[in-house]
Chain A
C-alpha cells in the first residue's frame, strides 16, 4: 500500500518507472507550514477488506495494514478472506507512531473541551496493539501477535523477528511488515527539526534538502522454504539475517560516521556468515536529509571497503517519501523483487553526485543484474539501526 501504487505489480512497476508519489497533502491543512507536500495513498477504501463496522473500529493504520496483509496473502496464493482460526500463523507488525491520526483527533477534542471531550472510541482505537490484533482478527491468525514500534526501522524489525519465530518453531507462517498513516504530528515535528524538503526528496544528491512525510503499509508472508514449495508457491527471497545496533549518540541525529549503521550491517553479515564481497546491492535508508545520507554513505564505505563505491545503492524515498514504520517493509518488498527479477529500481530525485556520498547510486533507469544478496538498511529515532539481509532462494 503506497502512494505510487498498491499491490505487488503496480508498486513494482511504478518503482521501476521512477514514478513519484509526492503530491499536495490532502489529509490535513498545511497552510501554517512552509511545506505542503507529502506521500499519500489517494482513494483508499478499506471496504474490500473490512466491513463498515470493522473499519470504523480501527484507525487508518490498522485499515492500511489489513489491506496490505490481504494483498500479501493473495499474492502468496493463500486465502485472504475471513477464515477459520489458524494457530500456526502469527502477525508481527512494526510502526513508528501507530494510530497517530486517532491521537490527533483526540488531541483536537482535548484542546477544545478537555480530556472528557475525547471519545471513548478514540481511546480504544489508539493503542498500537490494535493494529496487530486487527490483522489477526481479519485473517484468523491465532499464533503469536506482536507490534514492534521501533520507529523508522520497525518494518525490518518485524520481518526479522517473524523469521526468528519460524526458525524457533513459534509459528509456521508469519504476516510481517510495517505501517504508518499520514500524520500531521510527524509533519509538524520534522518541520520543527528542519529535516523536511519543500518540493521533492533527493536521496544522496548534492542538492538534497530533506525528507518528506508519507504513509504506507507493507506486509510479506514468511514461511519455511519447504512449506512454500510444498504448496506450489514460488518464494521471492530468503530472510538471511537481521542485524541490529544502536548509535547511542543522539535521539534524532545519526552518528556522523554511521557507527551504528555499520555495526548493524556487519552484524547481519556475521549472523548469515556472509562475506561483504557477496553483497550485490544495498537498499539504503536514504532519507534525503544531509546528515542521514552522509552518515549512511560513510557506513556503507566502512563495511564494504574498497568495493564500497561500486556497490549499487538505491533509495525508494525519492519515490515514496518517508513512510515511517512502513518504510523498511516496503523497501524489503522491493529488495525481494530485486532478488527475484534482477532489477534495481532507480533513485528518484538523484541527479547531482555528492562528494560526501561517493556511492554508485542507481538512477534514471532500473539496473539489471544478478542480485543474490541484498542488504536493506533502516535507521530510526533513538539511534535504532537495522540491516536486513535477503538472499536468493537456494
Chain B
C-alpha cells in the first residue's frame, strides 16, 4: 500500500528585473549573447515607485525598491483564497538595503550622531527589505533572508523548497536581489568580483513562486527537485561540484546526463567542469554579468527559459561557484 504522494515544489510564477532582460526567455537569450568585457556595471532604470502607491515608502533604498516593485507582480495574485500564513518570502541578498546601511552609518559616526534620523535605522538590518514586503502584503507566515554572498539565493531556494515540500508553506516566493549602490560596486571590485577581463557587475531581482501545486497556466510544468550547497574552506573554485553531486543524488538522477548545465559566478567555468555529465553547457556570466546575491536565482531562471523552449521531459542543473562557495539547483520537467 502506498502513502500519499510526496509534496513537490513547482515553479508557479516568476519575475525578473535585469538590465538585459525582463522575462525568462529574454534572460536565456541574453545569457547566450556575451557583452564586451571591461564595460561598466549593468544597472536597471530607476524603479517605478508609483506602482507601490504611497504606503511605506519613506527612507527606501534602491535595493529595497527594486525588490518591492518586483514582488508587486508576484504576491498579490497568490493572496486570493490562500491564508496569509501559508505564503512566505524567502530571498538571498549579498548586501541587502546597502544604501540605508551606509547612509545611517555615515550619520551615526559623524560628530553629531544624534542628528541621525531614527526613521532610517530600521533599514540597517539585512532583513529589512523582506520585513517591508511582508508588512506591505500583510503576510504573517515564515520569512527568511540569507546573505552568504554569491550563493545567497541558492540558500533561499533550498529553504523555500524544504518549506513547500514539508508542508510548512503552500507558496514560497523566493529568489535573490541586489542593487548596485556606489558602495556595492566599490565593494564588489575590492572583493575581486569585477575583473577587467570578466563579467561586469549587474544588479538584478529574481523572484520565483514555488508552489505545492503547479500553475494551471498552459505550458511545461517545471519543478525544483533539489538544491545543494557546499563550501571550499580554503577558498578557490570547486565547491559547486560537491553541491551538484549531492543535488543529483537527492533528485534521484545518479549520473544520467542532464540536458543543460548553466553556471554563473566568478568560477562558473569550474562549476561546469565539475557538475557531472551534461549535454549542453552554458556559461552565462558574460551575458548576464555578476549579480552577487541574485546569481543563483538568475541561473535558475535561465534554466527555466531553456526548459520551456525545449519542452518535453528534460532536466537542468543551475550552478553558482565563487568566493569559496558553490551551489547546484536541479530542475526538471517530469
Interface residues of B in 214-248 (CB under 8 A from A): 228-235, 239, 242, 246
Interface string of B93-111 (1 = CB under 8 A from A): 0111000011011111110
**CB-defined contacts of A330 to chain B, threshold 8 Å:** none
Which of A6-14, A164-172, A363-371 lies on the face that meets chain B? A164-172
- Checking B110, B183, B234 against A137 with a beta-carbon cut-off of 8 angstroms, the contacting residue is B234
Whether A44 sits at the interface, judged by CB under 8 Å, is no
**CB-defined contacts of A90 to chain B, threshold 8 Å:** 231
**CB-defined contacts of A110 to chain B, threshold 8 Å:** 102, 106
**CB-defined contacts of A251 to chain B, threshold 8 Å:** 122, 128, 131-132, 135
**CB-defined contacts of B125 to chain A, threshold 8 Å:** 96-97, 149, 151, 380-382
The answer to whether B108 touches A104, judged by C-beta atoms less than 8 angstroms apart, is yes
Which of B42-50, B71-79, B185-193 lies on the face that meets chain A? B185-193
Bound Cα distance from A199 to B146, whole angstroms: 35
- Checking B95, B121, B138 against A189 with a beta-carbon cut-off of 8 angstroms, the contacting residue is B121
Also in contact, A248 and B140, with CB within 8 A (given A123-B187, A149-B126): yes
Which of A139-147, A275-283, A312-320 lies on the face that meets chain B? A139-147
Interface string of B138-169 (1 = CB under 8 A from A): 11111111111100100100110010000010
Also in contact, A129 and B144, with CB within 8 A (given A142-B233, A143-B231): no
Interface residues of A in 119-142 (CB under 8 A from B): 120-124, 126-129, 132-133, 136-137, 139-142
**CB-defined contacts of A97 to chain B, threshold 8 Å:** 101, 124-126
**CB-defined contacts of B135 to chain A, threshold 8 Å:** 248-251, 382-383
- Checking A122, A140, A189, A246 against B118 with a beta-carbon cut-off of 8 angstroms, the contacting residue is A189
Whether B273 sits at the interface, judged by CB under 8 Å, is no
Whether B182 sits at the interface, judged by CB under 8 Å, is yes
The answer to whether A147 touches B134, judged by C-beta atoms less than 8 angstroms apart, is no
- Checking B108, B131, B134, B242 against A107 with a beta-carbon cut-off of 8 angstroms, the contacting residue is B108
Whether B197 sits at the interface, judged by CB under 8 Å, is no
- Checking B134, B140, B145 against A148 with a beta-carbon cut-off of 8 angstroms, the contacting residue is B145
**CB-defined contacts of B323 to chain A, threshold 8 Å:** 129, 133
- Checking B126, B141, B144, B158 against A98 with a beta-carbon cut-off of 8 angstroms, the contacting residue is B126
Bound Cα distance from A108 to B106, whole angstroms: 7
Distance to closest chain A CB from B183 (angstroms): 7
Bound Cα distance from A247 to B140, whole angstroms: 6
Whether B127 sits at the interface, judged by CB under 8 Å, is yes
Whether B325 sits at the interface, judged by CB under 8 Å, is yes
Whether B112 sits at the interface, judged by CB under 8 Å, is yes
**CB-defined contacts of B110 to chain A, threshold 8 Å:** 111
- Checking A108, A137, A185, A382 against B235 with a beta-carbon cut-off of 8 angstroms, the contacting residue is A137
Bound Cα distance from A259 to B328, whole angstroms: 37
Whether A297 sits at the interface, judged by CB under 8 Å, is no
Residue of B nearest to A29 (CB): B113
**CB-defined contacts of A91 to chain B, threshold 8 Å:** 231
Residue of B nearest to A83 (CB): B233
Whether A161 sits at the interface, judged by CB under 8 Å, is yes
The answer to whether A170 touches B102, judged by C-beta atoms less than 8 angstroms apart, is no
Interface residues of A in 38-77 (CB under 8 A from B): none
Whether B314 sits at the interface, judged by CB under 8 Å, is no
Whether B1 sits at the interface, judged by CB under 8 Å, is no
- Checking A96, A98, A132, A144 against B230 with a beta-carbon cut-off of 8 angstroms, the contacting residue is A144
Whether A25 sits at the interface, judged by CB under 8 Å, is no
Whether A362 sits at the interface, judged by CB under 8 Å, is no
Whether B250 sits at the interface, judged by CB under 8 Å, is yes
Bound Cα distance from A382 to B67, whole angstroms: 15
Interface string of B7-38 (1 = CB under 8 A from A): 00000000000000000000000000000000
Distance to closest chain A CB from B193 (angstroms): 10
Bound Cα distance from A120 to B128, whole angstroms: 26
The answer to whether A252 touches B122, judged by C-beta atoms less than 8 angstroms apart, is yes
Whether A204 sits at the interface, judged by CB under 8 Å, is no
Q: Which of A87, A95, A144, A382 has the most CB of B within 10 A?
A: A144
**CB-defined contacts of A244 to chain B, threshold 8 Å:** 141-144
The answer to whether A189 touches B191, judged by C-beta atoms less than 8 angstroms apart, is no
Bound Cα distance from A132 to B118, whole angstroms: 30
Interface residues of A in 96-114 (CB under 8 A from B): 96-98, 100, 103-104, 106-108, 110-111
- Checking A127, A141, A260 against B140 with a beta-carbon cut-off of 8 angstroms, the contacting residue is A260
The answer to whether B235 touches A380, judged by C-beta atoms less than 8 angstroms apart, is no
The answer to whether A115 touches B182, judged by C-beta atoms less than 8 angstroms apart, is yes
**CB-defined contacts of A187 to chain B, threshold 8 Å:** 108
Residue of B nearest to A169 (CB): B250
Distance to closest chain B CB from A212 (angstroms): 16
Whether A150 sits at the interface, judged by CB under 8 Å, is yes
Whether B334 sits at the interface, judged by CB under 8 Å, is no
Whether B179 sits at the interface, judged by CB under 8 Å, is no
Residue of A nearest to B187 (CB): A123
Interface string of A362-394 (1 = CB under 8 A from B): 000000000000000000111110000000000
Residue of B nearest to A134 (CB): B233
Residue of B nearest to A126 (CB): B187
Distance to closest chain A CB from B196 (angstroms): 16
Bound Cα distance from A390 to B138, whole angstroms: 30
The answer to whether A108 touches B131, judged by C-beta atoms less than 8 angstroms apart, is no
**CB-defined contacts of B190 to chain A, threshold 8 Å:** 120-124
- Checking A142, A151, A189, A190 against B239 with a beta-carbon cut-off of 8 angstroms, the contacting residue is A142
The answer to whether B131 touches A384, judged by C-beta atoms less than 8 angstroms apart, is yes
**CB-defined contacts of B145 to chain A, threshold 8 Å:** 148-150
The answer to whether A32 touches B132, judged by C-beta atoms less than 8 angstroms apart, is no
The answer to whether B108 touches A185, judged by C-beta atoms less than 8 angstroms apart, is yes
**CB-defined contacts of A146 to chain B, threshold 8 Å:** 146, 148, 155, 229
Whether B114 sits at the interface, judged by CB under 8 Å, is yes
Q: Which of A128, A140, A151, A164 has the most CB of B within 10 A?
A: A128
B residues adjacent to A (C-beta < 8 A): 84-85, 94-96, 101-102, 104-110, 112-114, 116-118, 121-122, 124-128, 130-132, 134-135, 137-149, 152, 155, 158-159, 162, 168, 182-183, 186-187, 189-191, 228-235, 239, 242, 246, 250, 323-325
Q: Which 5 A-B pairs have the closest CB atoms?
A: A382-B131, A192-B118, A189-B121, A149-B126, A123-B190
New A-B contacts (19) at CB < 8 Å, excluding given A123-B183, A147-B147, A246-B142: A96-B125, A96-B126, A104-B108, A126-B187, A129-B148, A129-B323, A133-B231, A146-B229, A147-B148, A149-B125, A157-B144, A184-B109, A188-B113, A189-B116, A193-B118, A245-B85, A251-B122, A252-B122, A382-B132
**23 A-B interface contacts by CB (under 8 A):** A91-B231, A97-B124, A123-B187, A124-B190, A129-B149, A137-B235, A137-B324, A142-B231, A145-B229, A148-B147, A150-B144, A161-B159, A170-B228, A184-B109, A185-B109, A244-B144, A246-B143, A251-B135, A263-B140, A382-B128, A382-B130, A382-B131, A382-B132
